Amino acid sequence: MTKTRRCPICEQGTVRPVATRAAMPYRHVTALEPAWEVRIPTCDNCHERLIDGNTARSLDAALEAALQTLQTQLVNEAIDQLATVKTQRQWEKRLGLSPGYLSRLKSGKEGSVVLTTLLSLLAQAPSRQWKQTEAIWSGRDQAAAEVLSFPARGATIASTFHFQQEASSQSASVSQLRDSQCVVARFEEAA
């Protein structure tokens, strides 16, 4: 038997559990569909959802499972795209990841929002990003410049990475890289 009650919000409707898989905001995701149906007490008059502790736990579990699936899917797509340019091991080395870490990410065993986002951004232009990461970490005694265009907002950002070196050294040390300057040279509105 389904438990019903009067709605404490509108005081006119009846609150009944309604099964839903409707997309909703969750953590950093704007709209995420729960991995399975969740029964949420909802007023049949004002449509207010009255979420108690048990409903919240059930909803969190369904959304967390959906988030894990989405994150694994994004990671797999990104790593597959990156592999068109360099091997997983080469990317792991370049990004400072331990051997086999990208394989563990692909299996869904590890991961973070930050790393998923980074891999997705790198995968949008893997050849270019490989060269960009090389310029950043090479320690050359010259400026490595790259103009990045962002169609959203119509802005062009010119970034220059300056690596300072001592005159007697041919390669940058860790402390020199730490003291490096990263200067955003200019913002221009795209024509």
Q: What is the pLDDT of the chain when averaged over all its residues? A: 78
Tens-place pLDDT, residues 28-62: 999 999 999 999 999 999 999 999 999 999 999 99
Closest CA to 34 of 25, 42, 43: 25
Answer yes or no: is pLDDT of 190 > 70: no
The burial of 166, by beta-carbon neighbours within 10 Å (0-12 exposed, 13-18 middle, 19 or more buried), is given as exposed
In the chain, the domains with their CATH numbers are: 7-127 (3.10.20.860), 138-191 (no CATH)
Closest CA to 105 of 74, 75, 126: 75
Average pLDDT value for residue range 101-115: 88
In the prediction, which pLDDT does 2 show? 58
**Which of the pair, 79 or 112, is modelled with greater confidence?**
79
- Could you give the 3-state DSSP secondary structure of residue 175? helix
Tens-place pLDDT, residues 154-175: 433 333 333 333 333 334 443 3
Percent of the chain with pLDDT strictly greater than 90: 63
In the prediction, which pLDDT does 188 show? 34
Work out the end-to-end distance of the chain between its first and last CA atoms, rounded to an integer number of angstroms: 65
